[in-house]
Amino acid sequence: MEEAAYIYSDELSSFEYGDDHPFKPIRARNTMELCTRYGLLTDSDIVGVDPAHATPETLSVFHAREYLDILEEVDRGVYRLDMLERGIGTDDCPVVPGIRGFCLLAVGATMTGMDLVMKGRARRAFNPVGGFHHGGRDHAEGFCYVNDVAVAITHAIAKGSRIAFVDIDAHHANGVQDAFYEDDRALVISLHETGDSLYPGTGRETEIGSGRGTGYTVNVPLLERTDDEVYTSVFGRVVPPLIRAFHPDLVVAEIGADTMISDPLTHLRLTTNGYNEVIKSLCALSPRMVAVGGGGYDIYRSARCWALAWAAMTGREPVDQYAGLVGGMMYGAEMDGLNDRPMPTTGEAKERAMAHADRVASYIEETVFPLLGAQKP
- Single out the residue of 30, 28, 17, 33 nearest to residue 255, CA to CA: 28
Kindly report the number of other CB atoms within 10 A of residue 325's CB atom. Answer: 7
Q: What angle do CA 44, 48, 53 make, to 5 degrees?
A: 150
What CA–CA distances, in Å, run from 20 to 23, 94, 137, 314, 363?
A: 9, 11, 27, 35, 41
What is the CA 109 to chain-centroid distance, rounded? 14
Parallel, antiparallel or unpaired: strands 335-336 and 339-340: antiparallel
Q: What angle do CA 355, 358, 360 make, to 5 degrees?
A: 110
Element housing 362 (H / E): helix 347-367
Rg (CA), the chain: 19
Instruction: Tell me which of 134, 139, 192, 356 is the catalytic residue.
Output: 134
Examine the residue annotation and report whether 134 is marked as an active-site residue of this protein. yes
**Three-state SS for 29?**
helix
341/323 Cα distance (integer angstroms) = 18
For the chain, how many helices (H) and strands (E)? 12, 10
Q: What angle do CA 56, 292, 304 make, to 5 degrees?
A: 140
What CA–CA distances, in Å, run from 299 to 29, 76, 212?
A: 10, 30, 40
What CA–CA distances, in Å, run from 135 to 101, 275, 326, 365?
A: 16, 25, 40, 29
Residues with a catalytic annotation lie at 134
